[in-house]
Amino acid sequence: MDTATHFAMGFGLAGLAYLDPVVASTPSLGMAVMIGTVIGSQAPDLDGLVRLRGTAAYIRNHRGVSHSVPALFLWTGAIFVLIQAMMPQPHWLHLLGWIFLAVCLHVFVDLFNSYGTKGLYPFRDKWVALNAIFIFDPFIFAAHLVGFMLWAAGAHPGHVFLWIYVIIAGYYYWRCQVQRRTTELVRQRIGKAGTFTIIPTLSWTYWTFVAKTEQHWYVGEVISGDVVILDTFSIKPENERIAAAKKSYKVQSFLAFTHHVHVETKERSFGYEVKWIDLRYRSRFQGKSHYMFVAVVYLDFDLTIRDSFVGWIHRGEEQLTKKLDSKRS
């Protein structure tokens, strides 16, 4: 989820904590729990600091081991020690439990969007993305805002957020059911065996999809139950140019993150361009299909890497060319 929603969930859990009679009867513990749940709801995303090492490192590591099973305990322990050092609590086990819940909830809800996490690591070293909830969901955020207003008006925060989280749990279940039904619609439309990835958007009635069969990739959208195929790509065997370009660390980081990838090669004046595109992130630029998340390698005619790029391109091919040309100049 986005940062604002994680913050909201942190405060929401602080309200829910008032169902705990020890928290409700101990003001200092209530404050410590609020600090702990708000920090805990953000802590796993501190891996964003790896961006300082470059885009490739960020792509490879963001929502990786920081969202893993061992990290749940490491984040909880670090936050607990920090709060205890600042404002020691005799009922420390209650504080520890609510911090742990906040960290776990962060990782859990991140599993439901298209970016996903390595939330099952080390038991499963793959990205898990359940593709049911958009990264920012207005319903979930609005539900928290209603809860905060009721809390401010004098309602019991524990009771308020207990009902809110019951409703949100039901909402997650409903979205998962809709996602399954949408997947079946796409499967019927393609009419071939394969893998089908249905991706949520800000709208409840609009989904995008990526489907892979034995010979093709299909990219499209589902609008109110109507399935439309927008782009089709043939799956081609790997050649020596692609193999040479895959030696780039940036490409390796890109491929470690996504498996919805189509690769294209093009001869250029200096040699070859090899470009991988993540088919999940399609937009339109100047009336043409444009895939925003890419990895590109420039090779000379001896298949030696001259330059490479990985990241987001929002304004079409010209923006990518300028980025690479500016680095070579």
| Mean per-residue pLDDT over the chain, rounded | 92
Average pLDDT on 136-141 reads: 97
Report DSSP letters for 60-122, one per residue.
HHTTSGGGSHHHHHHHHHHHHHHHHHHS--TTHHHHHHHHHHHHHHHHHHHTTSSS-B-TTTT
User: pLDDT by residue (tens digit) across 265-319?
Assistant: 999 999 999 999 999 999 876 667 789 999 999 999 999 999 999 988 876 665 5
Chain-centroid distance, C-alpha 228: 25
Alpha helices in the chain (DSSP H): 3-16, 21-24, 27-40, 55-61, 69-86, 92-110, 138-152, 157-190, 240-245, 249-257, 317-328
Residue extents of the structural domains in the chain: 3-175, 240-322
Can you give the pLDDT at residue 327? Answer: 47
Can you give the pLDDT at residue 257? Answer: 85
Lowest mean pLDDT of 72-81, 176-185, 298-307, 318-327, name the range. 318-327
Can you give the pLDDT at residue 312? Answer: 87
Lowest mean pLDDT of 16-20, 49-53, 140-144, 256-260, name the range. 49-53
* Interacting residues of 275 by C-beta distance below 8 A, sequence separation 6+: 263, 264, 265, 266, 294, 295, 296, 297
